Amino acid sequence: MNHSSVVIISDDPEFARALAGRWQAERQVPELTVTTSDVWNSVAGPECDLVIVGPMRDGDRSSVFRAASFAAGTPMIMLANEGEDSGALGGKLSNLIFVLRHDGWAATLILLAAEVLRRADANGRAQRAERLALDSQRHATLGRYMLEMRPGVNNALTSMLGNADLLLLAPGELSADGHEQLRAIHTMALRLNEIMQRFSSLATEMWAGETESQHEMEAASRQLLTRP
């Protein structure tokens, strides 16, 4: 799992100290940032993977939730006392999870936080894999287009090079500047032709490699089927 970041918001120093100390005993410890409600509200909340909300001054946590509403995609865990109205505290925040305070609240909260971070990491990996798949699909489409257009491009380059060669053999029909421009066109056409030849060679090598890999897989499958 990638290194995660967790923000602990509380005006009770003992809560943050107990939670951070308990977390240090775990095998995987995220990057912990401890802040108070007034600091959190003043910066509208730093970017992080998880927010943990503890006791606040005078028990008022509404300002924290208002600030968190601007980052609705960030999951939040709040330690609530029994009898507190979760609806009034969190409003309609879909990313908010409540944990009732009890004797083992720190262990429960850390276990829940670890699961939330694991799911966030899995979602991030899935999104990155999806983006890579889309990029690969676009590159494959571009490659197929280039393969389809290769004969036409080669024919155009052959025509350009042939006509340029004919004109270069008759230098008296062109001015000095025209002769130099034609030679530049000829040189660029040769470079394009070299690029297309390299592309054709690469396509042939890739096709040969895929064919060889397919043959090896088929041979391995036949061995498995014929093995006593």
pTM of the model: 0.55
CA distance 167 to 32: 73
Determine contact, residues 58/11, Cβ cutoff 8 Å: no
pLDDT tens-digit map of 152-164? 888 888 888 888 8
Tell me what pLDDT residue 144 has: 78
- Residue 149 scores a pLDDT above 70: yes
Q: What is the mean pLDDT of residues 64-85?
A: 67
Structure confidence at residue 94 (pLDDT): 67
Residue labelled with tokens 């494959």: 140
- Long-range CB contacts for residues 200-205, cutoff 8 Å, separation at least 24: 200/150, 203/143, 203/147
Q: Where are the domains of the chain?
A: 5-127, 131-226
Instruction: Determine the pLDDT at residue 224.
Output: 60
Bridge partner list, 30:
none
Residue 113 in contact with residue 50, Cβ under 8 Å?
A: yes
Question: Of 2-6, 77-81, 206-210, where does mean pLDDT reach its minimum?
Answer: 206-210
Q: Any idea what the Cα angle at residue 112 is, between residues 106 and 115, rounded to 5°?
A: 140
Mean pLDDT of 90-112: 76
In this predicted model, what pLDDT tens digit does every residue of 172-228 receive, in sequence order? 777 888 888 888 888 888 888 888 888 777 777 777 766 776 666 766 666 665 655
CATH class entry, domain 5-127: alpha beta
DSSP-based helix, strand, coil % in the chain, nearest 5: 65, 10, 20
Over residues 15-30, mean pLDDT: 84
Kindly state the DSSP code that residue 53 receives in the 8-state scheme.
Answer: E
